[in-house]
Amino acid sequence: MALILALFLQLSSWQWHRYHEKLQLQTTYQAALTAPEISLNAALVLFSTKSITPFIAIKLKGHYDTDKQIVLDNRSQAGHPGYEIYTPFVLDDTPNKAILINRGFIPLGHGWKDIPDLTVTTESIQLNGFLTLAAKNFILGPEIEHTLNAWPLRLARIDFPLLKSYYPYFLVPYVVLLKPQQIGSYLCQWSFPALFAERSLGYTFQWLALALATIVLWTIISFKKERRPHE
């Protein structure tokens, strides 16, 4: 009985911490929408020195590398299938470094084999977006759907260790979600992950209630055991 009580209390405590973590994440996401953009280097330093979720508004200068683009397959927007387009953005201040720009969503054309037009300027420009981690999509089958050295790459997910050998420069292991109406943007309607903080709060009280019920049951059983010798 003591082990069951300890388990319920531990689960209640865990869900309570999860509730506060999710509240902090929601605050981070909402704050990024209206926060002024900072430089990529400043954001990377911030991520390395503080335990925060990487999602922050940034600005960066450089140029698109249109020769080595990525088509991320099996994406959807408002229930419509399509692609997300990732284009390397070579940084002006460090030409040996680039970061993948998620330029947004393109609806599916006549079939999955049709590659959309990915044309975009290669001149030096400034972009604004949100620095974040690449989504970890669950996949079945191969990660790369292409013949060797065929561009654009057709990928099922962004995998930086896998991509390292495909680029002549260092890829920063984050992605930038392009803000709407930026140069080269497609449909950029980004949605935050459903965190369901209230659900974790509900689980907290659920496990706590079970712990209290265990205490009551334990008390009743102990009381009956104490009375039996006198009966």
pLDDT at 17: 73
Tens-binned pLDDT, residue by residue, of the chain (231 aa): 677 777 777 777 777 777 766 667 667 666 667 778 899 998 888 877 765 667 888 999 999 999 999 999 888 877 888 889 999 999 999 989 999 999 999 988 756 667 778 999 999 999 999 998 887 654 444 455 554 458 899 888 899 998 988 999 999 999 999 998 999 999 888 766 555 666 767 777 787 777 787 777 777 777 766 665 555
Contact 54, 42 (CB under 8 A): no
pLDDT of residue 203: 72
Q: Residue 120's pLDDT is what?
A: 94
Predicted local distance difference test score (pLDDT) of residue 139 = 45
- Cβ–Cβ under 8 Å, residues 57 and 39: no
Whether the CA torsion 49, 53, 59, 62 is positive or negative: it is positive
Rounded-to-integer distance, Cα 203 and Cα 223, Å: 30
pTM: 0.70
Angle between helix 2-34 and helix 197-227 axes, rounded to 10 deg: 170
CA–CA distances in Å: residue 129 to residues 123, 132, 134, 175: 18, 10, 14, 10
Strand partners, 125: 62
| pLDDT the model gives residue 144 | 53
> SS3 for 183?
coil
Per-residue pLDDT, 76? 82
Coil vs helix vs strand at 144: strand
The number of residues making up the chain comes to 231
| Cβ neighbours, 10 Å, residue 192 | 13
Please report the beta strands in the chain, taking only residues with DSSP state E, as ranges in sequence order. Answer: 38-39, 55-64, 70-77, 80-91, 97-107, 125-132, 153-155, 170-178
Query: How many alpha carbons lie under 13 Å from residue 137 in its C-beta half-sphere?
Result: 17
CA distances from 114 to 4, 42, 154, 185 (A): 57, 39, 11, 19
Distance CA 190, CA 130 (A): 10
